[in-house]
Amino acid sequence: MKRWQSFKKTIILCGIILLIIPVNVQAISQKSFLPKTPATSTPGEIIEVTCSEPYPTIGQPVHLLITLQGKAKTRFIETLTVHDEFSGFTLTNGEMIWTSGSLLEHQLNLTIGLLPHYTKKLLWYPSIVGNHTLRISTTSGEKFLNVSVGFDVEGIITPSLGRPVIINKNHTNQFCLSVSEERAETEGPSQIAKVMLHSIDGTSSYELEDQTEKWSTWIPTGTDIVEDDLIVSYDIDSIPIGFYNISVFTTTTEYTWPHAVQLIQDEPSEYSVVQLSDIHIGKYSNPVDKKKELIRLFTYINENIHPAFVILTGDSVDWYNTRTERNPYEELREALLQCHSPVFTVPGNHERYTNSLLFLYFPYTNLTPYHFYLNPVSDYSMQYGGINYVFLDSGFEYSRWELPQIWSLSPEGSGLTNTQMYLLENLWGEPHIHQMIFMHHPVVSDTNDTGLGALPNTLPSGNNECIAHNRGGLITYCREKNVSLVLTGHTHKNHVFTSLGTEATNSTAWPLFIQTDAATLNRENNGGRIILIQQDEIIGYDYHPFN
């Protein structure tokens, strides 16, 4: 897509930026690089606001550069706030919808003194594709910055291999599809010409008809380039139940996803869900053939468990590098196609690794390969069998990078953005029924972070290897909004913690915060966590070796 060719350059720049985070207030001394100061500006007034990337994509952290007037006679504290007024796409309960809202993205205090100007660099990780008006305010006034955020890839946004759709035909006869495609501004808008479902065994194909447009818009994504985003629905009443690949033909291109659509007659009253984590396909320092082992696990799952679906909670690949012949995402896809159940995914920190030095990890941040090969959407929710499932991107490496040959400390995740928390509270969450949250980095631990880049902790539970931002807010949400389980990976250990960071002794003392061992790195213990649901109640969630 638009940034696929410049992908490597972008992620290297993002990695370099992260090495110097956090950034404090900086004085700019070279007058040639200063914004022009209005004659009437007062100390603390906002002089200029820019974004480090003019057309960011979802899953790409960017920086807001905010310059304030100095030259104060005496030092004083100025409060700076950034509000995001947005309208755009988010995926909830299996359908892409257009939503709008306003939230506080940043609030901080800056010390203004005698220097001419003060510049603050703020990290912004957009979670909504669409139009954003950033309102930056101080007591001396405000400025506005309009930013359009696009999808990271072209094609079928949902459903996909890593975010399939399960349609209960007893409840609906509608199938919702979203497609994103770029074009020049002078060209006509994109249109969907045909949609086909192909059974995964290759024995039958069906063309979907009775298209109904639910939403169509375009977003600026470059100079004279726009991104058409279409949401349409189709009648699937005549399509037999089964598991399908999907093909979408626009007026210019064909897009496909395997194992993307499952039609069922009804949701069972008793079913199971399997969580697999930290598969690490492509990891050279481990002697296990991870692809072969994952296929073995799926064979076991197909023959013995028959789950409603499988969930991969991050680090499914170890790294991706365009310069090598080996593509771990292709290997992962080949293994996923052996699974007879739909597979849902969330990204981890390793999905962002794209360095060419195989022994060295850098804190890369871009999710383009993950979005291209597996799942174009990082956050979403769905309801199944009377339970609400929420899938969250727990972020990139935040406090340090990992040098496994020197020390074994694991990096924290940057955590949840204020936008993710807003959407969890207002769209993704369904507190009137049981909820489960799936993400990569843990939320609680029994120990505190130590060592290089250690993060402070003011909560009762430990924060070692956990998310950095909105950890307390997520714990509070889970305790108040009927969250039963928060299932994560990252640590390659099995733990069941309470919100206080103690090992749980009561199996239903919700919410419980679970860490699940790596699925493929230890031959003697390779397996996953089996979550058992009966009559909309969770009756088990034990880890099992699949031998």
| Bridge partners of residue 230, in order along the sequence | 179, 216
Q: What is the pLDDT of residue 32?
A: 35
At residue 248's C-alpha, the angle toward residues 299 and 204, to 5°, is 55
The DSSP line for 360-374 is --------HHHHHHT
The rounded mean pLDDT for the chain is 89
Residues 238-278 pLDDT 10s? 999 999 999 999 999 999 999 999 999 999 999 999 999 99
| Sheet of 165-168, strand order | 165-168, 254-264, 242-250, 192-199, 205-207
Q: What is the pLDDT of residue 482?
A: 98
The DSSP line for 69-104 is E---SS-EEEEEEEEEEEEEEEEETTEEEEEEEEEE
Positions of the chain with pLDDT lower than 50, given as ranges: 1-34, 359, 401-408
Q: Which amino acid is at 91?
A: L
Q: What is the pLDDT of residue 36?
A: 55
Q: What is the pLDDT of residue 27?
A: 34
Q: What is the pLDDT of residue 94?
A: 83
Residues 450-473 pLDDT 10s? 776 678 899 999 999 999 999 999
Residues 281-332 pLDDT 10s? 988 878 889 999 999 999 999 999 999 999 999 999 998 876 667 899 999 9
Residues 196-217 pLDDT 10s? 999 999 999 999 999 998 889 9
**CA-CA distance, 236 to 261, in Å (whole number)?**
11
Instruction: Please give the structure tokens belonging to residue 47.
Output: 């002089």
Look-up: residue for tokens 């072209």? 154
Domains of the chain: 7-149 (2.60.40.10), 170-263 (2.60.40), 266-545 (3.60.21.10)
**CA-CA distance, 41 to 23, in Å (whole number)?**
25
Q: What is the pLDDT of residue 458?
A: 94
Residues 350-373 pLDDT 10s? 999 876 555 455 557 889 999 999
| Torsion sign (Cα): 147, 52, 4, 316 | negative
Q: What is the pLDDT of residue 17?
A: 39
Other beta carbons less than 10 A from residue 311's beta carbon: 23
What's the pTM value of the predicted model, to 2 decimals? Answer: 0.90
